[in-house]
Amino acid sequence: MTGPDKPSPPRPHAPVTRSAAPAERFAGPEADTTSDASGTSGNDHDGGCLSAPTGPARAGADLAAGIAAIKAAVKTAPGDPGVYRMLDAKGDVLYVGKAKSIVRRVTSYTQPNRQSNRILRMIALTRSMIFVTTHTEAEALLLESNLIKRHRPPFNVVLRDDKSFPYILLREDHDWAQIRKHRGPKRHKGVYYGPFASAGAVNRTLNTLQKVFLLRSCTDAVLDSRTRPCLLYQIKRCSAPCVGRIDAAGYAELVAEARAFLAGRETRIQKQLAERMEAAAEALDFETAAMYRDRLRALTTVQARQAVNAENLDAADVIALAVKGGQTCIQVFFYRQGQNWGNRAYFPRHEKGAEPAEVLSAFLGQFYDDKEPPQTLLLSREPEDAALLQEALSVRAERRVALHVPKRGEKRTLVDDALRNAEQALDRRLAESASQARLLDGVADAFGLDAPPKRLEIYDNSHTGGTNAIGGMVVAGPEGFEKNQYRTFNIKSTELTPGDDFAMMKEVLTRRFSRLMKEDPERAGATWPDLLVIDGGKGQLSAVMAILEDLGVEDVAVVAVSKGPDRHAGREEFHLPGAAQPIRFRAGDPVLYYMQRLRDEAHRFAIGGHRQRRAKALVKNPLDEIPGIGAKRKKALLLHFGSAKAVAQAGVRDLAAVDGVSHALAQAIYDHFHERERP
């Protein structure tokens, strides 16, 4: 993959609230000394990649030890419904399962002849178990989904993307209703319109709804402080209730129209607007007629962007599953009031041999763990334990939730459309994975690695004249950039020279690898890097190697990337420890572009962290550093004196005159600002 001048490199949830407090038990050979392991395992990779026993003798011994631990747990296992957790020697969760009778399910693991290879690997790693009982099996399923999302066990099907969805909120707990984007718990009184598949879809729709209904989007504080209309009124996106340009009755009428539209009665709204436009035109009030015309056009735009609609669906999610190459894509379409509000693709993590019905069932349990399910779920296939899953979702929603696998008609057409999208998304994913695999093969070949790296960590520093220094760590692997693994390091040392990149990198790597050696000294997880990529030249590389040597880390490959001659992109040089000459790639080499992307992403991330820290420092108030000064007292001091500088110059008596400031606190404030003046 490299040019002819490449040298030969060296090989370098809380339990379900509808039940009583569940009884939790710990079972295993060391049950008297070991407590519940509530932390996550940190092994966010395929269960098949775990450190399985090697050699027949070792494998047999580990399997026997696992069976012995499970047999010891069976002695105290309850016969009630509930959830069990299988733990390894370190207390990390290997697997979370539900059962109608915990003791019967756990007993089945003591019969290895009936288990698959995947289960045998899990049993061989098991050293203890935890049991949690529930009232019903449905509650056990809900608790199981919650624990899987919390612990992310390597032998479970795990939904990795569990972000909340955005909504449009028509807020009605104020005299002048507000329309805005909302994400998170539904605490406000009003109509929640959604869910939407992305923030972009919300912003586009919200922008158009403002044109149609002219409702205010500003905060209560801005509304109360206005003395004249804002720009939104001028561009006809608000009716300006803040300054009385519309009365309460007229605004209430707009709110009623918005509610009708959100309820799916857009045809009625269109008819009303058209009638008003015609009436205004007949009365020769062309300005008003033009306003209604613009609102009609905006309403048409909203409907056009909803793509395929389903008039017979009030509230439903259409969910389809596609499987290929041992990977799964699940496509979710959201329909509310007969309108399509977007879709999103998910790629749950699971073993290659997992059954599609099992994957779909696990996905549904985790997907709706923190979301309210709609009235109907239209599925492309029957999930495992469908009746139990339907009961559990109904318990969560506190109303009936129906699961259907339609065979014909409009609903089947919607499912087929979702299935086609799932297959296409999976094809793109597999193509990207194959491309990524080829790039990692190229990286291994170029830098003399024994195998393609599964985890690359790229480091860069950012600062302005040595101030607000930040170290950034970006992580990449077989699935591309792993943004949930990114880390920023605030440079804390007060002894380093401002702008000393070597010293900053030393602090970052020391903190990073000291923590790794403390948390995962045996490297059983997937948190140790296979390759470090450093932004710099030979000097930076030498400094990094010295740091790793001091820490006792000798088997992590390192490569430093320098700009090369004339600092020209495409002529980068890659420095390896012990290599006499740097590696230079041919122009257009895919590995060169990949390494540039890694470096640029680390640079972008570090600069972003630095800018955030710098912006925070710019608005930092000296009063924040004084013990006993909270938000209320700080506000009172600033209102009384006008600025933090005036507070610093005030005397004790003046400070004590402020409401909420005692004489002792006034003395503490005075001492804080004048301690340097004392001899």
At residue 615, does pLDDT exceed 60? yes
At residue 430, does pLDDT exceed 70? yes
pLDDT at 52: 41
- Of the ranges 33-42, 205-214, 440-449, 634-643, the best mean pLDDT one: 440-449
Confidence category of residue 169, pLDDT binned at 50, 70, 90: confident
At residue 508, does pLDDT exceed 70? yes
At residue 329, does pLDDT exceed 90? yes
pLDDT at 61: 76
What average pLDDT does this structure show over 135-143?
89
CA–CA separation, 437 and 439 (whole Å) = 5
User: Alpha-carbon Rg of the chain, whole angstroms?
Assistant: 31
CA–CA separation, 515 and 384 (whole Å) = 41
Confidence category of residue 382, pLDDT binned at 50, 70, 90: very high
pLDDT at 637: 85
At residue 83, does pLDDT exceed 90? yes
Transcribe 133-157 into DSSP letters: E-SSHHHHHHHHHHHHHHH--TTS-
pLDDT at 1: 41
Arithmetic mean of pLDDT over the chain: 80
344-354: pLDDT as tens digits: 888 998 888 78
pLDDT at 307: 46
Confidence category of residue 161, pLDDT binned at 50, 70, 90: low
pLDDT at 84: 94
At residue 487, does pLDDT exceed 50? yes
357 compared with 257, residue with greater pLDDT: 357
571 compared with 118, residue with greater pLDDT: 118
- Tell me the two tokens of residue 347: 């790629």
Confidence category of residue 268, pLDDT binned at 50, 70, 90: low
At residue 529, does pLDDT exceed 80? yes
569-579: pLDDT as tens digits: 667 889 999 88
**What is the pTM assigned to this prediction?**
0.63
Lowest pLDDT segment from 495-509, 530-544, 595-609? 495-509
CA–CA separation, 525 and 44 (whole Å) = 8
Please count the other Cβ atoms lying within 10 Å of the Cβ belonging to residue 30. 13
pLDDT at 50: 40
- Of the ranges 428-442, 443-457, 483-497, the best mean pLDDT one: 443-457
CA–CA separation, 522 and 552 (whole Å) = 14
233 compared with 269, residue with greater pLDDT: 233
Sequence letter at residue 380 = S
Distances in Å between the Cα of 133 and the Cα atoms of 40, 148, 150, 445, 575 are: 21, 16, 18, 52, 57
269-289: pLDDT as tens digits: 777 777 778 887 888 878 778
Confidence category of residue 7, pLDDT binned at 50, 70, 90: very low
293-318: pLDDT as tens digits: 777 776 665 555 444 455 567 788 99
At residue 16, does pLDDT exceed 60? no
- Tell me the two tokens of residue 438: 């080829």
At residue 567, does pLDDT exceed 70? no
Sequence letter at residue 553 = V
pLDDT at 106: 92
Closest CA to 475 of 545, 531, 434, 523: 531
**Domains in the chain and their CATH numbers?**
24-151 (3.40.1440.10), 167-304 (no CATH), 315-428 (3.30.420.340), 456-610 (3.30.420.340), 622-677 (1.10.150.20)
Strand partners, 192: 169
Lowest pLDDT segment from 250-264, 400-414, 598-612? 250-264
pLDDT at 678: 47
Sheet holding 315-324, edge to edge: 339-346, 327-336, 315-324, 376-379, 402-404
pLDDT at 396: 86
439 compared with 188, residue with greater pLDDT: 439
| Beta carbons of 435 and 408 less than 8 angstroms apart | no
pLDDT at 617: 67
pLDDT at 218: 87
Transcribe 193-254 into DSSP letters: E---S-HHHHHHHHHHHHHHH--B-S-HHHHHH-SS--HHHHTTS---GGGTSS-HHHHHHH
At residue 322, does pLDDT exceed 90? yes
pLDDT at 45: 38
At residue 54, does pLDDT exceed 60? no
Residue 106 backbone phi and psi in degrees, to 5? -65, -35
Handedness of CA 599, 600, 603, 605 (dihedral sign): negative
Sequence letter at residue 310 = A
At residue 86, does pLDDT exceed 90? yes
Confidence category of residue 564, pLDDT binned at 50, 70, 90: low
Please count the other Cβ atoms lying within 10 Å of the Cβ belonging to residue 419. 19
pLDDT at 475: 93
pLDDT at 17: 35
pLDDT at 403: 94
What average pLDDT does this structure show over 327-350?
84
What average pLDDT does this structure show over 167-181?
85
CA–CA separation, 105 and 126 (whole Å) = 15
| Beta carbons of 502 and 491 less than 8 angstroms apart | no
pLDDT at 24: 54
pLDDT at 98: 92
At residue 467, does pLDDT exceed 80? no
pLDDT at 35: 35
CA–CA separation, 540 and 561 (whole Å) = 9
At residue 58, does pLDDT exceed 70? no
What average pLDDT does this structure show over 619-645?
78
Please count the other Cβ atoms lying within 10 Å of the Cβ belonging to residue 157. 22
42 compared with 534, residue with greater pLDDT: 534
At residue 404, does pLDDT exceed 90? yes
pLDDT at 619: 61
